[in-house]
């Protein structure tokens, strides 16, 4: 009594190399398609190709940087103008610098300073 499971299976029908010429043709076709794809990728993988793929994110980052710099420069120039105009007005009407500093609120006068001011010393 022989069982079907005792005999090895014949898998020769699944061997892709059994028909040599057909197999070689399939391999050449696959390698040709792959070579064309790889050449296309190599052509796109240069500096210009990368920049064209990344132009939107680069443009967004540049716009954000310009906005931040514009805002910071506007704030800085405004504070400089206010500081210059305050000291200029104080000098123009004859207020001494230390009084102008007190008026701007940069420091608070001590009791000794106030006494010297009103005592005329």
Tokens of 1: 């009594």
Instruction: Give the pLDDT score at 4.
Output: 64
- CB atoms under 10 Å from CB of 91, counted, come to 12
Q: Look at residue 59 and tell me if it is in a domain.
A: yes
Q: Is residue 10 part of a domain?
A: no
How many domains, in total, are found in the chain? Answer: 1
Residue 6 lies in a domain: no
- On the CB side of 58, CA atoms within 13 Å amount to 6
pLDDT in tens, 2-54: 556 778 888 888 888 888 888 899 999 999 999 988 887 777 777 777 778 88
pLDDT at position 64: 95
For residue 79, give its domain range: 19-119
Give the model confidence (pLDDT) of 74-120 as tens digits: 877 665 555 555 556 767 777 777 677 777 776 677 788 777 777 76
Residue 4 lies in a domain: no
Residue 75: what pLDDT?
Answer: 79
> Does residue 78 lie within any of the structural domains?
yes
For the cut 90, the answer to whether the pLDDT of residue 65 exceeds it is yes
Residue 2 backbone dihedrals phi, psi, to 5 degrees: -110, 135
Is residue 11, in this structure, part of any structural domain at all? no
Write down the pLDDT at residue 87: 56
Q: How many CB atoms lie within 10 A of CB 36?
A: 10
Of the candidates 106, 113, 77, the one whose C-alpha atom is nearest the C-alpha of residue 90 is 106
The pTM score is 0.31
Q: Is residue 9 part of a domain?
A: no
Average pLDDT over residues 54-77: 88
- Position 82 scores a pLDDT of 55
Please report whether residue 37 resides in a domain. Answer: yes
pLDDT at 68: 93
């Amino acid at each position: 009594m022989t069982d079907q499971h005792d005999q090895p299976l014949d898998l020769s029908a699944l061997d892709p190399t059994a028909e040599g010429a057909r197999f070689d043709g399939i391999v050449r076709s696959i390698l040709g398609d792959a070579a064309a794809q790889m050449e296309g990728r190599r052509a796109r993988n240069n500096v210009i190709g990368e920049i064209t793929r990344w132009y939107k994110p680069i443009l967004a980052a540049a716009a954000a940087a310009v906005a931040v710099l514009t805002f910071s420069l506007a704030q800085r120039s405004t504070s400089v103008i206010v500081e210059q105009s305050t000291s200029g007005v104080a000098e123009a009407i004859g207020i001494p610098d230390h009084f102008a500093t007190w008026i701007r609120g940069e420091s608070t006068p001590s009791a000794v300073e106030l006494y010297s001011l009103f005592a005329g010393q």
